[in-house]
Structure 1
């Protein structure tokens, strides 16, 4: 009921204010109006900012603790309030994996502190994983959950690294998962994070929650927030449109993913042995180059019939110096009054990206009425 109420509450807000409010509280954004902005965050490698997780748990706990200090509440009362708030937010976020993980980590931290049990951060992470799996055995079938836990694991094994080196290590660690699920990677992600994360943390996030709390009694506040949100969204879209550092690598299979993950972990955790690290770096570089060449310079051509639901879509590629041709792109299904995203965006383009294709040498339409373009 509360989640439904908030969904209706956010619907009254302007486009960009609604977008950030829905993402930050409900971990969802069903509107297709902001698809471009979501893709921009993904292309820049900063989509994690829109995923409520450890950062939000820390901010919530910090805010509640500060409030408890101001009104002179006991530590136990503040802890109970924090736990209650996090449980409610878990329900509101529809059990979003990253937020549940961070909340479980806080719950176990409180438990160990009260029982005066000394537990290392690595052991606590293991307990959190087991607890999460107990409630959701299918947890790691979700790419979001895999990325969330992999990042925390990466932070744990690289905690002695300097900040910049750690960022590079974390990006290298999650790259196989990104390529398996999203097919594209941005080599400038570290730079984009340094540029955009401070703006997000110190402007977007606080402003979002201020608007959420005040909108019901002061609707005019969106006159202030919407231009700021829109300006930052336009800036993000502008940077993403340049596609600097963005490479359409193609999809790697699970065996390749696991192999690259294992080698990367060994590269991070091995002691400072130059020869071993040099060998591992050579293996990683060689593996990525080999996989890239196999995807982009295939030994065989192929004809692929793409399941677009309505109509036909056929991809034809030639071997080696690959040429790509697409016959039709599929229609657009509209049942009832609900707007639906074209199959071109939902099916055809992701399929092309999975093949490592970011441009076509030719597009052929069987009817003049087709209005889809690549």
Structure 2
């Protein structure tokens, strides 16, 4: 589940480290139902014609005709493309979603980055698997004609397909932990088998023929439902159950679960590291061992069983999810599933006939979204693996009624201790996120007394035609925001925006959506910039927007404001410059301030010096004037710039200036996220990818 949510936002930098030279030609069979298209970019998993192993294929359409040709097809096509194989990029930020690990757990180790699509040819001879994919494609194509909510429910519950807008439209499902209801699992397989059994009972087949047909249909349904690791668990357990019943092996449900786990470990051992698979096995095991409990007790305890897994992977949990699951799960079986099938049938006659079903489903979905938006989302943070295992063990003891009072006391104590340890750390930090070509810094004081963010990062969008534009995915969601939640932060006291450029504030809407923000602090005059103000138009009414210059002091802001002096529009020369002292070091953050602005700042503050300098404009030669560097006399320079960026930042001239001043450089291009962890007046630097941090200590 979380894999899909993150994977839809995969960028080229995440997928591959290869430089595309166009030296290899690949011809791969592409199933339209597994092809993910977002704007002018595509990615899919297919079997390599060279290695005969699964690989991720990523590329960019050169024309709208190429895109439409793939979108229009419901049959498998043979796509000939030119490009190169490369390895997945490693995660360069702490607790960042690691796309390489995600695919590696599914035995996919390489990515092919296509520089050009040469041809797209429909496949003429189709295998049985091909035909199942055709049926799935036709089903999804039919669902596109249905009303919006019915479309998402039908595709999610029946074919296991979630399109790019799924999580935007169904926020309540995500926040209330109901994604398991949309992940093809035991419940879906049970309904599928019930339908098959009813049909075969009408025909009057013998038990051996019936069992054989059920097994064949299960294999077919696993392909139709997307053949994910979670589907594999449900289908294998159902298949073993059919064989057990046919040959009267007298295996218990726990025996079936254990055999399924053994087979899963043999076939896809690393799939057990995926959150969806962990939830699938945990919930199915919990159902088996809690059969003697009442429905209410069983649901509550099963929800508690999922909490440690959710906290380890996504760091937050809504306390209303227990109540909602109590009410909603029976509705899925008794009302939602049948209603979706009714809507599908009515839609066959006329899409307009499905309007009453759409009304009910929309009412239901809006209610979930409304409940999900209520207070109750607890950003817990990421407990360590040992703590998670203890939580799971104690929850299982509760289900098994073993030392219940002691188990409850111990479980509550573990949760409270873990929460306290995460939310009230004795150490503070200054963190430079690796956001590619952009800036984003976190300044967090010990015990979380103050949380400040300087810039958010963001992608610069150049002119694109309509067909090239896709769903906007903010990288901050899987990088900086993910990290903040993992360390238990759900509110930002001060969000300082150095200036208007998208690579500094483009991801601001993601923070407004995901975090509580007390103050947004901007350079004086930027509040008159209509394009920037549109970016923050959805902010909470309690969030204050404070334009500042160097003569102003903002209460509870742990910085001195050194620039700008006058009102501007938030351009580079208007950049906000901030200074502070933390962990025994003096820090200076300069945004994209140009050389003239640097010299003006020196004239305005003649005694200014620093230990750590955030190099202006990503190391461009338009900043870092030698006179500015000489007077500041920093020991360490921080540079945040994208790998292989089109601007060639940092500029060699800037690097020479820093080298001549004997300044150690920490660059996100080579070191990834860089953190300064401190306690009192002592601290140390550390980075995700190593590099030259040893020189910085």
Q: Which residue of 2 aligns with 1:326?
A: 453
Q: Which residue of 2 aligns with 1:10?
A: 143
Taking the aligned partners of 1:346 and 1:215, their CA distance within structure 2 comes to: 37
Question: Residue 149 of structure 2 contacts residue 361 of structure 2 at CA under 8 Å; is this kept in 1?
Answer: yes
Taking the aligned partners of 1:11 and 1:79, their CA distance within structure 2 comes to: 34
Q: Which residue of 1 aligns with 2:300?
A: 168
Deviation at 1:213, TM superposition (A): 4.8
Taking the aligned partners of 1:28 and 1:249, their CA distance within structure 2 comes to: 30
Cα offsets for 1:265-305 (capped at 9, x unmatched): 2343354xxxx433332222111111111111111111222
Question: Residue 27 of structure 1 contacts residue 93 of structure 1 at CA under 8 Å; is this kept in 2?
Answer: yes
Taking the aligned partners of 2:298 and 2:330, their CA distance within structure 1 comes to: 17
Mark the CA change 1:138 to 1:208 in structure 2 (over 3 Å): closer, same or farther. Answer: same
Q: Which residue of 2 aligns with 1:362?
A: 494
Taking the aligned partners of 1:228 and 1:52, their CA distance within structure 2 comes to: 23
Task: Determine if the alignment matches structure 1 residue 298 to structure 2 residue 425.
Answer: yes
Cα offsets for 1:44-86 (capped at 9, x unmatched): 1222211121111111111222222334444444433332322
Deviation at 1:146, TM superposition (A): 0.5
Taking the aligned partners of 1:198 and 1:332, their CA distance within structure 2 comes to: 43
Taking the aligned partners of 1:270 and 1:230, their CA distance within structure 2 comes to: 40
Match of 1:315 among 442, 459, 463: 442
Question: Residue 267 of structure 1 contacts residue 281 of structure 1 at CA under 8 Å; is this kept in 2?
Answer: yes
Taking the aligned partners of 1:263 and 1:104, their CA distance within structure 2 comes to: 28
1:115-130 mapped onto 2 (5 Å cutoff)? 115-130=247-262
Q: Which residue of 1 aligns with 2:233?
A: 101
Mark the CA change 1:346 to 1:14 in structure 2 (over 3 Å): closer, same or farther. Answer: farther
Question: Residue 343 of structure 2 contacts residue 357 of structure 2 at CA under 8 Å; is this kept in 1?
Answer: yes
Residues 300-309 or 147-156, more deviating: 300-309
Question: Residue 97 of structure 1 contacts residue 148 of structure 1 at CA under 8 Å; is this kept in 2?
Answer: no
Q: What TM-score comes out, normalization by structure 2 length?
A: 0.50
Which structure features the higher share of helix residues? 1
Cα offsets for 1:17-55 (capped at 9, x unmatched): 2211221123231223x3234432122122221112111
SS of residue paired to 2:431: strand
1:216-295 mapped onto 2 (5 Å cutoff)? 216-243=348-375, 245-269=376-400, 271=402, 276-295=403-422
Residues 177-186 or 64-73, more deviating: 64-73
Residues 64-73 or 51-60, more deviating: 64-73
Residues 160-169 or 48-57, more deviating: 160-169
Deviation at 1:140, TM superposition (A): 0.3
1:348-359 mapped onto 2 (5 Å cutoff)? 348-359=480-491
Deviation at 1:214, TM superposition (A): 5.2
Q: Which residue of 2 aligns with 1:20?
A: 153
Taking the aligned partners of 1:174 and 1:146, their CA distance within structure 2 comes to: 9
Taking the aligned partners of 1:212 and 1:83, their CA distance within structure 2 comes to: 26
Mark the CA change 1:333 to 1:126 in structure 2 (over 3 Å): closer, same or farther. Answer: farther
Deviation at 1:157, TM superposition (A): 2.4
Taking the aligned partners of 1:22 and 1:348, their CA distance within structure 2 comes to: 31
Q: Which residue of 1 aligns with 2:189?
A: 57
Taking the aligned partners of 2:227 and 2:381, their CA distance within structure 1 comes to: 30
Taking the aligned partners of 1:154 and 1:114, their CA distance within structure 2 comes to: 26
Does 1 or 2 have the higher relative contact order (CA < 8 Å, sep 6+)? 1
Q: What TM-score comes out, normalization by structure 1 length?
A: 0.89
Deviation at 1:148, TM superposition (A): 0.6
**Structure whose alpha-carbon radius of gyration is higher:** 2
- What RMSD in Å do the two structures reach over aligned CA positions? 2.3
SS of residue paired to 1:103: helix
Taking the aligned partners of 2:435 and 2:448, their CA distance within structure 1 comes to: 27
Deviation at 1:307, TM superposition (A): 2.8
Deviation at 1:321, TM superposition (A): 4.8
Deviation at 1:216, TM superposition (A): 4.2
Cα offsets for 1:118-164 (capped at 9, x unmatched): 11221111111112233323220211001110111122222222222
Question: Residue 170 of structure 2 contacts residue 369 of structure 2 at CA under 8 Å; is this kept in 1?
Answer: no
Taking the aligned partners of 1:305 and 1:9, their CA distance within structure 2 comes to: 47
- Any stretches of 5+ residues in structure 1 without a counterpart? none
Deviation at 1:348, TM superposition (A): 3.1
Q: Which residue of 1 aligns with 2:599?
A: none
Q: Which residue of 1 aligns with 2:264?
A: 132
Which structure features the higher share of strand residues? 2
Residues 165-174 or 63-72, more deviating: 63-72
Task: Determine if the alignment matches structure 1 residue 87 to structure 2 residue 227.
Answer: no
Question: Residue 430 of structure 2 contacts residue 444 of structure 2 at CA under 8 Å; is this kept in 1?
Answer: yes
Match of 1:44 among 167, 176, 179: 176
Deviation at 1:217, TM superposition (A): 4.7
Mark the CA change 1:233 to 1:152 in structure 2 (over 3 Å): closer, same or farther. Answer: same
Question: Residue 426 of structure 2 contacts residue 447 of structure 2 at CA under 8 Å; is this kept in 1?
Answer: yes
- Any stretches of 5+ residues in structure 2 without a counterpart? 1-132, 513-697
Taking the aligned partners of 2:363 and 2:187, their CA distance within structure 1 comes to: 23
